[in-house]
Amino acid sequence: MKTLLKGGTVVSAAGSRVADVLVDGEKIAAVGEGLAADGANVVDVSGKLLFPGFIDAHTHFDLDVCNTTTADNFNTGTRSAIHGGTTMVIDFACPNKGETLGYGLDLWHKKADGRSSCDYSFHMTIDDWNEGIKNEIPAMFAAGIPSFKMYMTYPAMMIGDQDLFSALLELKKYGGIAGVHCENAGVIDALIAQHKAEGKTAPSSHPECRPNPLEAEAVAHLLRIAEVADVPIVIVHLSTKEALLEVMHARERGQKVYVETCPHYLLLDDSVYYQEDYSASARYICAPPMRKKEDQAVLWKALANGSIQTVSTDHCSFTLKQKDAGRGDFTKIPGGLPGVETRGELLYTAGVAEGRITKEQMCALLSENPARLYGAYPRKGVLAPGSDADIVVYDPEADSVISAQTQLSAAGYTPYEGFKTKGSIAQVYLRGTLAVDHGGGNTERKFIHGPIHAQPFHTARLRRVCFTYGNARARRHVSLKLQDLLRAAHSQLAGIPYFHNPAVRRSAPKAGFHCRVRWVNNQFGHRSGLSQVNSRVHHASCCHGIVHNHLDAALRAIVHLVRCLRRTVALKGLDDGMDFRF
């Protein structure tokens, strides 16, 4: 079935334009002006914004923690997600210490498969490190799991520096990436003991035991470990200006650091913990805690200047009854907030409408950047021909008020009760199917389709080929392929020195270009087809010998090289994603 969304403003990270979007089945068939209907169902979206489906790369559904289980499982959690424009979540598979990664992944598939209302994938939590876990890492990539999570706090989940370093080195072999929860566990425990000894057991003790410097110290500590390991790293739910400063220092050293923050760190401050009513304060307990307004201002600036790459929710919901477990002992309050349903409207209202960020930056933060970072681009994260028809139709004139009464989360409350939004989500399409429809007027959004339409998303990067100026390290069998492709490119262009020429290596200028070509497996289904190709992620780098006066010729050579790569990809039956930076 075809659907033509006509007259809306198509938003991407690169820009926005008024255009029609033609959907054919689950894919976007065309984007352009004046597209012919050709029997399609025509939907007038004039005056509305069309975003790629939002991706929430940090959720915790059906998680056993703090002697209880999160209020939202994959049924209620993903219904809440798609209701708020999130068409894909990446949840955390969390085996306990002593359990295998394979067991954890199978368990999370059982929790999610057949129960989810949006597409989903998983990160794998590493809370234990031994020879057995190490030997499971290749199997995780083969199963479509290229991203991992580690903790520097929580005794049940944290691993020490030696194991963290060893795990990073192992992930490096396969091109994986790790996100890390950064807080100084030892000092936090000391402060908790001090507060309890002084009889300070109210929720207000929570932020006092997790002050800003303890996040910043842990971030700095992690980044130095990552520097020695020579790996990229993700700082999850960063909340403080001091921690961001440590990230900027690391980037100045040449490190590749990706940063995620959350809506509650942008909109809520630590005053919420000092209310007289226990429940009014306890509902906001999470780690890291809310910070000062000064931190909020810095985080907003970082979103605007690109220092922070993604905004996820860290959705980890508990009912107010579950939060009551900490009366008399703030350390027993289950930590986490609901938020997967409100992220898009909050970021548009407090960010775009207030002029803090542009709608294009919002698109990058919620859609394109997480898709690129976690291997789903270009199938997800962009409205372009061939991409999945995951579309959020946002009406900037349909103002609303956030209320728990209209939320689908099982938490029973929202941290943003009474928050007035500028505009709201009108419709949500999941792979071409209308999943949520506001209906117009003041009616509530109607949830239309459920788990039958959701699919697990395999984000395994079967090949990632990186051409980095001035670096000749490579895996041998990949280098041979690159040599053949480069010879083909150079045979078309005279005057471009070939990278195997030692003289070229010595004389090549330090200024040059960086080109990254990423091959992504975007097949759905449980491991189907993965055995037909090499499922490891490979890196290869070469000094291409580009000199300044040959830049135009160099670009033409790269175009030819990409054509060669695409032909190879097509022969293997894979989707391809190309990402260039010069």
Instruction: Report how far residue 356's alpha carbon sits from residue 347's, in angstroms, rounded to the nearest whole number.
Output: 10
Instruction: Record the tokens describing residue 482, joined without a space.
Output: 């690159």
How far separated are the first and last CA of the chain, in Å rounded?
40
Instruction: Report how far residue 367's alpha carbon sits from residue 381's, in angstroms, rounded to the nearest whole number.
Output: 5
Q: What's the rounded mean pLDDT across residues 303-323?
A: 97
pLDDT score for 443? 36
Residue listed under structure tokens 């000062």: 292
pLDDT score for 438? 79
Instruction: Record the tokens describing residue 156, joined without a space.
Output: 């049940």
pLDDT at residue 334 greater than cutoff 90 = yes
pLDDT score for 502? 34
Of 143, 105, 103, 96, give the one whose Cα is nearest residue 124. Answer: 105
Q: What's the rounded mean pLDDT across residues 441-457?
A: 49
pLDDT score for 456? 67
Biggest alpha carbon–alpha carbon distance for the chain:
78
pLDDT score for 454? 61
* DSSP H stretches of helix in 253-396: 263-267, 278-282, 293-305, 320-323, 343-347, 359-363, 369-373
- Three-class SS of residue 194? helix
Bridging pattern class, strands 257-261 and 233-235:
parallel
Residue-wise pLDDT tens digits, 489-523: 444 333 333 333 333 333 333 333 333 333 333 22
pLDDT score for 1? 86
Instruction: Tell me the residue type at 167.
Output: A
pLDDT score for 130? 97
Q: What's the rounded mean pLDDT across residues 96-116?
A: 96
- The DSSP secondary structure of 506-528, one letter per residue, reads HH--S---EEEEEE----BSSST
Q: Which residue has the higher pLDDT, 469 or 271?
A: 271
- Three-class SS of residue 7? strand
Residue listed under structure tokens 């690159």: 482
Instruction: Report how far residue 70's alpha carbon sits from residue 111's, in angstroms, rounded to the nearest whole number.
Output: 13
Q: What's the rounded mean pLDDT across residues 283-311?
A: 97
Question: Residues 237, 58: contact at Cβ < 8 Å?
Answer: yes
C-alpha angle with apex 514: 232 to 231, nearest 5 degrees?
Answer: 10
Residue 406 has a CB neighbour count (10 Å cut-off) of: 13
pLDDT score for 537? 24
According to DSSP, the residues that pair with 464 across neighbouring strands are: 518
Handedness of CA 207, 209, 213, 215 (dihedral sign): negative
pLDDT at residue 221 greater than cutoff 80 = yes
- Three-class SS of residue 359? helix
- The DSSP secondary structure of 211-280, one letter per residue, reads -HHHHHHHHHHHHHHHHHHT--EEETT---HHHHHHHHHHHHTT--EEEEE-HHHHH-BGGGGG-SSHHH
User: Phi, psi at residue 401, to the nearest 5°?
Assistant: -130, 125
Of 6, 1, 2, give the one whose Cα is nearest residue 33. Answer: 6
> Which residue pairs from 352-360 have beta carbons closer than 8 angstroms and sit at least 24 positions apart in sequence?
352/422, 353/396, 353/422, 353/423, 356/300, 356/303, 356/304, 357/300, 357/303, 357/304, 359/11, 359/16, 359/49, 360/11, 360/12, 360/13, 360/14, 360/15, 360/16
pLDDT score for 563? 52
Of 424, 407, 428, 427, give the one whose Cα is nearest residue 416. Answer: 407
- Three-class SS of residue 93? strand
Instruction: Tell me the residue type at 489.
Output: A
- Three-class SS of residue 180? strand
Of 63, 519, 563, 547, give the one whose Cα is nearest residue 314. Answer: 63
- The DSSP secondary structure of 471-493, one letter per residue, reads ---B-HHHHHHHHHHHHHHHHHS
Instruction: Report how far residue 169's alpha carbon sits from residue 228's, in angstroms, rounded to the nearest whole number.
Output: 10
pLDDT at residue 575 greater than cutoff 70 = no
Instruction: Report how far residue 44's alpha carbon sits from residue 23's, in angstroms, rounded to the nearest whole number.
Output: 14
Q: What's the rounded mean pLDDT across residues 19-31?
A: 97
What mean pLDDT is reported for the chain?
82
Instruction: Record the tokens describing residue 495, joined without a space.
Output: 């005057």
Of 143-147, 195-199, 448-452, 460-464, the range with the lowest mean pLDDT is 460-464
According to DSSP, the residues that pair with 337 across neighbouring strands are: 315
Instruction: Record the tokens describing residue 89, joined without a space.
Output: 């979540």
Cis amide linkage into residue 288, ω under 30° from 0: yes
Instruction: Report how far residue 428's alpha carbon sits from residue 433's, in angstroms, rounded to the nearest whole number.
Output: 8
Residue-wise pLDDT tens digits, 388-408: 999 999 999 999 999 999 999
pLDDT at residue 192 greater than cutoff 60 = yes
Distances (CA, A) of 154 to 265, 302, 490: 21, 28, 54
pLDDT at residue 547 greater than cutoff 50 = no
Question: Residues 561, 489: contact at Cβ < 8 Å?
Answer: yes
Cis amide linkage into residue 207, ω under 30° from 0: no
Instruction: Record the tokens describing residue 354, joined without a space.
Output: 């207030």
Contacts of residue 175, Cβ cutoff 8 Å, sequence gap at least 6: 146, 461, 464, 536, 537, 538, 539
pLDDT band at 457 (very low <50, low <70, confident <90, very high): low
Q: What's the rounded mean pLDDT across residues 427-452?
A: 68
Bridging pattern class, strands 86-93 and 119-125:
parallel
What share of the chain has pLDDT > 70, as a percent?
75
pLDDT at residue 4 greater than cutoff 80 = yes
